[in-house]
Amino acid sequence: MNMQMLFDDSYFMKKALEEAQQAYGKGEIPVGVVIVAKQQIIARGHNLTELLNDVTAHAEMQAITAAANFLGGKYLIDCTMYVTLEPCQMCAGALYWSQISNLVFAASDPERGYRKMGAKLHPKTKVKNGILEEEASELLKRFFIEKRNLN
Ligand SMILES: [Zn+2]
C-alpha cells in the first residue's frame, strides 16, 4: 500500500469517527472532527456540549480553535476539515470566517444542517459529502435509540 492510498478521505474520516466514538462514550451526541494540513492531523475534536454545559462546544468549533492555535494564524487556508455530520449554521459560520479550503462531511443533517438553515460557507471552500456516511449515521442512530430507551 502506498501513502496516497493510505491517506485518503476515508482514512481521515475514520479518524473523525474515532472522535465521534469518544463523544458517544461520554453520552454526548456522537460527532467527531479532524482537521488536516499537508496530510497531517493538526486538530481533533468531538462534541462536548453536555460535559461543558455549552451549546457552542460542537466538535467543529473546538477543532477550528485548535487548528488556528497549531498554525499560529486564524485562517485555515490549505486545510481540510473531516466531520462525521453536516455542520450546523453556527459551525458553518465559524468555517466561513476561517476561510477553510475544504470541508468533507459524512452524514447529511436534513433538519439542522447548514444547508437547510440557509447558512453559507466561504466561497473558497470546496465541499464533499457522503464519505463513510453509513458508519456515521449508524452511530448517531444508535445513540438516539439508546437515549430514548433510557428516558
Ligand atoms: Zn455545529
Report pLDDT digits (tens) over 8-38.
999 999 999 999 999 999 999 999 999 999 9
Give 5's pLDDT tier (boundaries 50, 70, 90). Answer: low
Provide the grid cell at 60: 467543529
Active site residues: 60
Look at residue 89 and give its three-state secondary structure.
helix
Determine the Cα–Cα distance for residues 38 and 112; give it in Å rounded to an integer.
31
In order of 28, 49, 58, the CA distances from 54 in angstroms are 12, 5, 9
Looking at the predicted structure, is the pLDDT value of residue 3 above 80?
no
Half-sphere exposure at residue 83, Cβ-oriented, CA atoms within 13 angstroms: 27
Secondary structure letter of residue 75 according to DSSP:
-
Nearest to 38 by CA among 64, 94, 76: 76
- Residues, beta carbon < 5 Å, ion ligand 1: 58, 88, 90-91
* CA–centroid distance, residue 1 to ligand 1 (Å): 35
The pTM score is: 0.94
Q: pLDDT for 82-132, tens place per residue?
A: 999 999 999 999 999 999 999 999 999 999 999 999 999 999 999 999 999
